[in-house]
């Protein structure tokens, strides 16, 4: 049995390959939850070396230890409050100077550090050499490991270095000399702080520097320990220091850290003439195309269109195979239950309800997994960061922050984590605005609806384009509503968008498959819980009162649908089955297909044959538009409430319901005249 060696944290800037390191260290021994009290994703995992088990916590990407966003606050709080046994500082070797700033701050904090020079393969052939001994010596003897996480290189050495650091603990104190004036003030304040700082568990020197920088979190912690007089003293010393230096202390300390880093990099890194050629590398040449003011946006939409074509072409035969299996399973289950003498209602529940409903959703798993695979590839190669950079100009035009594009892209996967991702936005107004328009992004839960209806009503060569048009419609509506909401509800200038573009890299197959599985697993869990419960409830309502024809207008589900069906008639789908499907789709969008499968008692192929009896191509498209826009799923509503409050959650439900009906009616009325 393995013994626990301790807890380590992975820290680093965004886009340094931290997640690759985490996946390589932990493999499948990982779990995803939320940080206590917040809805930001938390990843934990373990790895075993010898008889020792090490817990790994993957922190959100940060640039420094002064928090400006929720993600940065979470990472900093974990480091200074939870005090992990060791911290692995992951840096991008191709951007060493920028990345070492966080490393220096971690060392000043007193973290027990292992420095990971990731993407080491990127500098091979560029004439760049790093002297690890000099670099380690300059950073106070920190152990250094070289990795290329996407290739699996250096992971075993990383495990060994982590274990050694956990065993021996931190040795020595790391200090940067800030000059006589600053050091005098730091020492004076640290001496007063010593007892209070020890109570907090921080280095007195680090606490003194943070108080002089005006760090609000540290100020609050000192205040909670009864340090009001100390805080007043810190403010006076900071003001006096600013007069002497001619610069505010926060800027002064930051400049000195960068100065120290520049000197260290000059000593430890050497470059030949090849380095100059590397500046015009393939990455730079690609950026001239992908981030072009003229070509950038068309290329992004081209990639999205190609992604949907790929999803349909490769996913269709796999979906057909699962559908055939589900059809056989439903028939076999019904026949077997009849043979063993089970009541007719049990056979109906299993075949029409569970297998017909859940099975109608599961057949779309290949399409969903393929979409996640494509999105993971675009993210891991570094292209998605370019897409955000390119779209920033448009986002600003429509009143959204450039960073809003990242959560909106995540919305193509699932709106719930996408809404959580708005925590990276510093401005509360920008965050709430992004939350409100995010549900208009077509999540993969809507994909089964699109695949079903396009397969039933449109020729194969047009299906990918039809689905692409729905994704595009969601983006356009989100941008238009952002303008409206910005003018009415969130007046004010949009902050500038600054983003560091990661180098292009070829992702590993293992990493892509892990990302695809992590996201697809959520779909499978929903199929086994929410969708299962939903279709069973639909079956029950379709079977009652006792004696009525299953799923008929006289059943409870028929009566429920009849209440709302007249409202949907102007959109072209005024049958009670469509109304019931949309109602249960509020539980989870996949339940729309499951409900239709349950009501009609057929699988996907059967649905494709039945739907033309109730829909036309125009009403089918309008139904997909309605499914895209109307009321977010319950999970999304709950997250909006947690992130922004009941007021905004109620507003999101209200505006999306009205907008969905209005746009669906417009599309049906126009298309029914064009497609006659």
Between CA 185 and CA 163 the distance in angstroms is 38
User: Is the dihedral angle over the CA atoms 584, 585, 591, 595 positive or is it negative?
Assistant: positive
For domain 3-168, give the fold: Rossmann fold (3.40.50)
What pLDDT does 276 receive?
Answer: 43
The model's confidence at residue 424, banded by pLDDT at 50, 70 and 90, is low
3-state secondary structure 386-427: HHHHHHHHHHHHCCCCHHHHHHHHHCCCCHHHHHHHHHHCCC
What pLDDT does 146 receive?
Answer: 92
172: left (phi over 0), alpha (psi -120 to 50) or beta: left
Q: Where is mean pLDDT largest: 122-136, 143-157, 162-176? A: 143-157
What pLDDT does 280 receive?
Answer: 45
Q: Per residue in 628-645, pLDDT tens?
A: 999 888 778 888 887 888
Q: What CATH architecture is 180-276?
A: Orthogonal Bundle (1.10)
Note the pTM of the prediction, 2 decimals: 0.58
What pLDDT does 469 receive?
Answer: 92
SS3 58: strand
As given in the structure block, the two tokens for residue 164 are 């050694």
What pLDDT does 483 receive?
Answer: 85
- CA-nearest of 636, 672, 675 to 653 is 636
More confident residue, 30 or 227: 227
Q: Residue 285 — φ and ψ, nearest 5°?
A: -65, -40
As given in the structure block, the two tokens for residue 33 are 């939850």
The model's confidence at residue 651, banded by pLDDT at 50, 70 and 90, is very high
- Mean pLDDT in residue range 520-546: 72
Residue 74 contacts residue 26 (beta carbons within 8 Å): no
What pLDDT does 648 receive?
Answer: 93
Q: Domain boundaries in the chain?
A: 3-168, 180-276, 297-490+508-674
Cβ burial, residue 243 (10 Å; 0-12/13-18/19+): exposed
Asked if pLDDT for residue 383 goes beyond 90, the answer is: no
The model's confidence at residue 360, banded by pLDDT at 50, 70 and 90, is low
- Mean pLDDT in residue range 346-350: 73
Asked if pLDDT for residue 346 goes beyond 60, the answer is: yes
- Mean pLDDT in residue range 539-558: 78
């Amino acid at each position: 049995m393995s013994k626990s060696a301790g807890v380590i944290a992975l820290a680093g800037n965004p886009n340094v390959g931290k997640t690759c390191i985490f996946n390589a260290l932990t493999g499948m021994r990982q779990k995803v939850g939320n940080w206590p009290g917040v809805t930001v994703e938390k990843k934990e995992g373990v790895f075993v070396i010898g008889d020792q088990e090490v817990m790994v916590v993957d922190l959100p990407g940060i640039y420094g230890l002064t928090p400006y966003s929720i993600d940065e606050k979470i990472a900093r709080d974990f480091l200074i409050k939870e005090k992990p046994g060791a911290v692995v500082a992951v840096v991008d070797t191709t951007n060493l100077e920028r990345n070492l700033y966080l490393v220096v701050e971690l060392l000043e904090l007193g973290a027990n550090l292992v420095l990971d020079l990731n993407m080491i393969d990127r500098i091979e052939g560029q004439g760049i050499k790093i002297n690890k001994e000099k670099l380690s010596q300059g950073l106070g003897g920190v152990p250094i490991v070289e990795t290329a996480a996407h290739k699996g290189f250096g992971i075993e050495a990383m495990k060994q270095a982590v274990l050694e650091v956990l065993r021996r603990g931190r040795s020595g104190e790391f200090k940067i000399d800030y000059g006589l004036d600053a050091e005098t003030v730091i020492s004076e304040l640290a001496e007063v702080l010593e007892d209070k700082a020890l109570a907090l568990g921080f280095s007195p020197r680090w606490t003194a520097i943070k108080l002089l920088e005006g760090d609000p979190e540290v100020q609050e912690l000192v205040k909670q320990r009864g340090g009001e007089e100390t805080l007043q003293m810190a403010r006076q010393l900071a003001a006096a220091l600013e007069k002497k230096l001619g610069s505010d202390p926060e800027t002064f300390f930051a400049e000195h850290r960068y100065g120290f880093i520049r000197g260290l990099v000059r000593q430890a890194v050497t470059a030949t003439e090849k380095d100059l050629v590397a500046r015009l590398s393939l990455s730079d040449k690609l950026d001239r195309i992908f981030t072009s003011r003229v070509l950038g946006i068309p290329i992004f939409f081209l990639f999205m269109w190609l992604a949907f074509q790929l999803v349909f072409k490769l996913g269709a035969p796999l979906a057909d195979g699962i559908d055939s299996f589900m059809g056989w399973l439903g028939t076999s289950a019904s026949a077997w239950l009849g043979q063993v003498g089970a009541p007719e209602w049990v056979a109906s529940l299993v075949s029409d309800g569970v297998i017909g409903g859940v099975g109608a959703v599961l057949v779309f798993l290949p399409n969903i997994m393929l979409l996640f695979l494509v999105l993971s590839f675009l993210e891991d190669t570094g292209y998605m960061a370019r897409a955000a950079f390119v779209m920033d100009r448009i986002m600003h035009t429509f009143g959204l922050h450039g960073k809003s594009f990242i959560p909106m892209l995540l919305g193509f996967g699932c709106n719930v984590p996408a809404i959580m991702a708005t925590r990276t936005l510093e401005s509360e107004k920008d965050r709430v605005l992004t939350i409100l328009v995010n549900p208009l992004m077509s999540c993969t839960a809507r994909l089964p609806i699109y695949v079903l209806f396009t397969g039933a009503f449109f020729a194969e060569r047009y299906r990918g384009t039809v689905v692409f048009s729905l994704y595009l419609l969601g983006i356009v509506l989100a941008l238009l509503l952002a303008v409206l909401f910005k003018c009415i509800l969130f007046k004010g200038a949009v902050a500038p968008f600054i983003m560091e573009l990661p180098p292009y890299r070829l992702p590993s197959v293992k990493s892509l498959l892990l990302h695809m599985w992590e996201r697809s697993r959520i779909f499978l869990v929903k199929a086994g819980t929410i969708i299962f419960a939903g279709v069973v409830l639909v079956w029950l309502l379709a079977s009652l009162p006792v004696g009525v024809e299953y799923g008929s207008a006289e059943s409870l589900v028929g009566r429920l649908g009849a209440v709302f069906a007249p409202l949907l008639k102007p959109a072209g789908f005024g049958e009670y089955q469509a109304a019931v499907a949309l109602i249960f789709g509020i539980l989870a969008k996949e339940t729309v297909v499951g409900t239709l499968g349950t009501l009609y008692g057929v699988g996907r192929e059967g649905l494709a044959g039945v739907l033309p009896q109730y829909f036309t191509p125009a009403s089918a498209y309008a139904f997909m538009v309605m499914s895209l826009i109307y009321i977010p799923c319950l999970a999304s509503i709950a997250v909006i409430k947690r992130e922004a409050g009941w007021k905004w959650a109620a507003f999101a439900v209200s505006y999306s319901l009205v907008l969905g009906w209005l746009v669906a009616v417009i599309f049906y009325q126009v298309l029914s005249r064009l497609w006659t």
